[in-house]
Structure 1
């Protein structure tokens, strides 16, 4: 009886903790983006006014927290009602706003320096948000003679619950503002990670990460080939004609009749455009080459070039919009994109999104401006295309504003405005929570002494009516609105279990970070240590990658593939739980690390393990799977240094028997990306083989695959490594720590394998089965003529073990058709047809 009573007490307390934890971390993002109704402020006025179809609310009518100090209002006879009033500041003052969610926001500040009754043209001031100067030394006189307002537009990721916009008059001057807009923008409108173009590297692209920790200021937004238009986010697009360098080379293509169709969800990431990326008016107009009929020798002379004024030697986000709405089908038109006269990449029609024409898409580049004060962008026709043309639909340039130590982060001033009841409530709430948790722990320990642990608890999180805590993205519907079939619900883990396992996702538990989000170390209820990967709002990866990872890993199991323990999709969370890999990534052990150096034999064994995992993906898994993001950070090591391939968010089902490839937008990581796939957008298993070849070279040389600090010819490891091999000097770039360990026969076989993997044409590359054979052979050559028995954790099922006992084994037939069926565990329906039906859903094209 006492035990039953104790059980009820513990259950009640557990439910209380669940409620508190869920309530404390509750977020309510919408399923789809809806244009917000706040904040649009008519500064210096108590009246509401309408402008561009939007109501700007008078300051006294704001129904939320609003702070402005040391200010006065003034009125004028400006033509627009929005600019007939202004809030004037004689000393440092601010507006403070409450924020609904941790997300990216758009801030617009309107300035119209009227001269009566106050002369605002004499205003000199700075504007800031915590950590950033939005404007310094603003001079109202610079805009006096223009009869329109100056609108400054910024994008910023706001992680806090409030944001303060501060106006600081310069000595003996004043500050003012006529109107303020502040509202959340669609998820993934701006990505945290983009491609980095560096002029010094002659167009070689790398990766830039960290846009969410910067502020972006809009400098140019062009409707190329079109007229001035506004979009649903109230952004203004203007014609591009005044920025053309060679106007005679281009002309406007007739506008598209009707609305441009968008093929992806509002919250999807690039390069697929949504209706919020740019409006139909932009994608339905274009500048195209006027000289498409020129000869093949002269065609590249007829490029279209735009030169736009920018600040010198400053990072800028360049966004280019494309939509071919006149070709009869996709894939017929491709041309070259150039920045600062350096060819960057081929633009291959609009197959990135759909085989249907038209389909809008865009590309983002981080570009550092040069000393000229202009940014030059060109599109160049390609004489080998079926349709010889080059075009552009839209162009945006945003200046990257870095953090400044001279601007307060706002934490101290914000704390002064927290009311006493809020402080007391927080303290008391924290004490109550601490008491409940301690008491719960004590009672649980007492109960465990009297009873055996319960493996499958019946306790479930309490549904929270506001927002729906048990909402499931996977079972309720995908981003396209339909339920995801065949998802393995048996792998679902309650959110409360993961909160308790990771100390409510405490920063101390973080063991890694990636494009998807943070990875936490957690201890599950059964005592198992796990890696918990939790998505973050606006991350490079989204729902499609989350779905793909679950569907791939819930259907296959192999000792060289990281195992999925479970997932959670409650309350709009996207969390994946994997087996914990104690030794981290292969990359962690190769360079820029304090970890012990891996021996050559260890490196070979790791490469062999990864090859086995990839070989099983390609041929052993039902239907075949292409990983699409093979790299050293996606090869993880357990406590015995056994390699396991991870991160299947970009995976695609392999080509069917009726076609040799899968047509898809290019996804992957610079430096590892198959050049043939990059050019043709035709994905095959050989794309993984190329990426794995880069990994092999990375293992041999222990250096980054892209290193902009090196001389030009050495920046790209794949190109540099093959150049050295062809010159017979590969020995010179091998990791010095293992040079003396490598048997020359083993090195020869290994380098031959790398060379075959990195062939330009995919048809010349070996299968993963052949690569595995060669690596096993290289290991046996390293071990010598007498084969060493396998370690207990190695595969014992490989058919190669007998034939590789001698180093002079003759070449066996291709092993690409072999699979490791004894290593796999298929969950659910084990039929090939069922698996094919699952993987046919993996046609994802969202950005990484």
Structure 2
């Protein structure tokens, strides 16, 4: 094999190389691609950085401006102190959001996209460092509780990789509490098709190895991008405008390491020499492959090791990419060394498996689950039973998989926490008298016996008596008859015995218990003194203490002693509807049972909507909030997000709350809540009942991940069998199926006025059950689903752009009154299954 010669470089360090890199960047130019957006936020003029042209979002004359727009309310601000912060024109303006708002982009092609967010918190005329907010996209949370503060005064750039489907793509800015959000610049452009693989080696902190699949469906965040052994590489010298930092300070055993750079060797990476995959300057800049850190034997024993340690979030999965290019050898086939992760996994690195020449770049991807140390360790060293050799590393990239971090998987609007403190001393003696009168009236009323099921109840707010209202931040005491002493709850749960623990969620731990009278109960206990979930705790008490219905879960009592927040419910022996549809070892429900459960849930929701002039909108209808007793009688649960009416033909203006996949599109866009919002969510539930799969399932191929989209696709192809639960084969009467699908279609109409009421739905479902029970007998060879294909004419269901992104089953966040997020599997009403609160 021909020996590759290396020569000393006599140019100033990196001068010729930087010129070449800039040329390559221009040649690669993506800036004219219609898929690319570079936005200078809050400015009427464009800003040119390197070769990118950031279009001012107030510059309506630029053609790019027609491809993006704003939603919500925002303002723009210009730095009035040019001497403060960075001098770049890109960071002299910003857009400020004081309510939930977004940038909306028209995405023409399906691809993996770079999304970069630029923040530079200048202080005049508005102190941007005081901002506190969240950032979401159409399907993923990107930043939570983010602030633009930066002690170095340099811009903060957050980079993400997202799979985006054609259509509208939104980047949402959601202020926390009474604060605001801001952004200086946004980049959205496609990565190379192969930049993010779909599969990678998966390494646990214990050292086990298998294959991780589905990477391209997750949202990834760049945490580290390291040019090992070399200088900082800035965006103008990278074809994809990435920053690469030097590895100073991140490696250990520095005495055994030497850095190799183009000042010593002049070889160019042999991109065409890689025989296993396509490698180019867009994989990593040339300078990354022309610099390295080398570990050499310290003594004749041949043992050597070099380790890099990076601070990462605990117990989170990361995509780790290690870059290699042999620029240190004088001949091929001389190097064998080890790559190790967490000191308990290692693999042999032989550069010549990837190419038969020197200086052939290659990289290896791993999905690594971080341990509890908060550090991720990556090293190179001596491989056992090999001759004395050197080891080298050229580059490192570490990306957090947001889908596994517990904060991602979906989009919903953010509920701002508005706490109004009422000072009694200001009200004076008159206010005190009114309060005492109200308390007296409540105590008197609570002594009246409560019927088990009645439609005679009062509205909670807006039209109800003053005693039915509760000031946020106080525990309601208008239902003293429902208060249970803490000591009695301790006795019922054997002092919260871990053996009686049946679930855990964001609110706290759920226990099974037995009262002294033998009543089986479910006890949800918040972490003592945490205050988490206070608005839901209050709302749940308010709603369930005022209503009784066979198809609504019963609140037995509550406890607010000793800074405790405890809710006590009737015990639902058969768990949630979701438990019986999928992801469970329970036997499948028959079609008749499913219809009866849907009818029961519809009765409960109809009672909420129409049981009084005030009415209640549930706002979080889904299978995990439909519970089943020992006889499979359905009961609607979780009223922590509920909103009272009056409903009529009017609407309640409110910030959006709910769960992704079930959220009413009209409510989402207008923030105007009506009872038809529950109808839309119930339509999704009906579809889940028919198909026995979740509304969003990212473990499936992308075209099947969204249930509504999948149903449309199957309908268009006439493949009804791909939609209906296989366990229902030969069970469903075609007429019953036709009526059920017709009802589902009506519920899922985009416009609320086109949807039926819950009373109409109840009638239709009862009719579908009657058709099923009176079905004509068929011959054994007849498929009960024949003739049903025409019935499955699903509507053009509105969806979030990129809804088929990384959202796993029921692990989608529900938005709470205090601005916090809780995963769907931890929602307030799951009294039995794991993941409950």
TM (norm. structure 1) is 0.43
User: How high is the TM-score relative to the length of structure 2?
Assistant: 0.44
Larger RCO (CA under 8 A, 6+ residues apart)? 2
